[in-house]
Amino acid sequence: MAHVELVSRPRGLLGRMAFRMSRRRVGAVAEPVAAAAHHGGVLAAVGALEGVAQVGWRRIDPQLRGLVLQLSAARIGCSWCVDFGYYEQVSAGADPAKVRAVVDWRTSSCFDDRERAALEYTEAATATPVTVPAELAERLHRHFDDAELVELAAWVAIENLRSRFNGGLGLRSQGFSDRCEVPVATAPPASALGASA
């Protein structure tokens, strides 16, 4: 249960715009938006950061970015972010099995060396205290240029902000991932089988 009442009717233009954008983007008001609506300054600052990141941070390919965000959220323990991240990635065409395997990236065969370096960095940069060994930094430089590394660090940091904000306010999974599971194939009815014979 959330530690603050979730705003259902925002006051002011900023709150109404945030609710409208959330509904347009995901078909519902995201609970982090409903929580942040209590404080216009927080809503504006987080909204500005998210908007700039979505539009201007394009050096890391979206699928790798999604895996990095998912792992960071999972390591922090934010069920809201893990749920929404899964929904967002699968809706964008990511392999659901790969998204689910991200927490086991060290042993899963789903990931290449570039992804493994980024995921190892994600864990190191999400840990408290942050410890990125020189050997890992050297490996990262084999796969990423400086601008990409800066963006990678920024994506990990923004997910830490999201996950810690949501976790700190008691926000839990909102059920987004339920909307994107691949439907299980079922056998056709017997009448359909007989009709084609």
Amino acid letter, 22: S
Q: Is 6 exposed, middle or buried, given 0-12, 13-18 or 19+ CB atoms closer than 10 A?
A: middle
CATH number of this structure's domain 60-177: 1.20.1290.10
Q: Write down the pTM of the prediction.
A: 0.87
Whether the Cβ atoms of residue 65 and residue 95 lie closer than 8 Å to each other: no
User: In tens digits, what is the pLDDT along the chain, a chain of 197 residues?
Assistant: 899 999 999 999 999 999 999 999 989 999 999 999 999 999 999 999 999 999 999 999 999 999 999 999 999 999 999 999 999 999 999 999 999 999 999 999 999 999 999 999 999 999 999 999 999 999 999 999 999 999 999 999 999 999 999 999 999 999 888 765 544 334 444 444 444 44
pLDDT of residue 191: 47
Our CA angle for 18, 75, 108, nearest 5°, is 115
Query: What are the residue ranges of CATH 1.20.1290.10 in the chain?
Result: 60-177
Q: Is 70 left (phi over 0), alpha (psi -120 to 50) or beta?
A: alpha
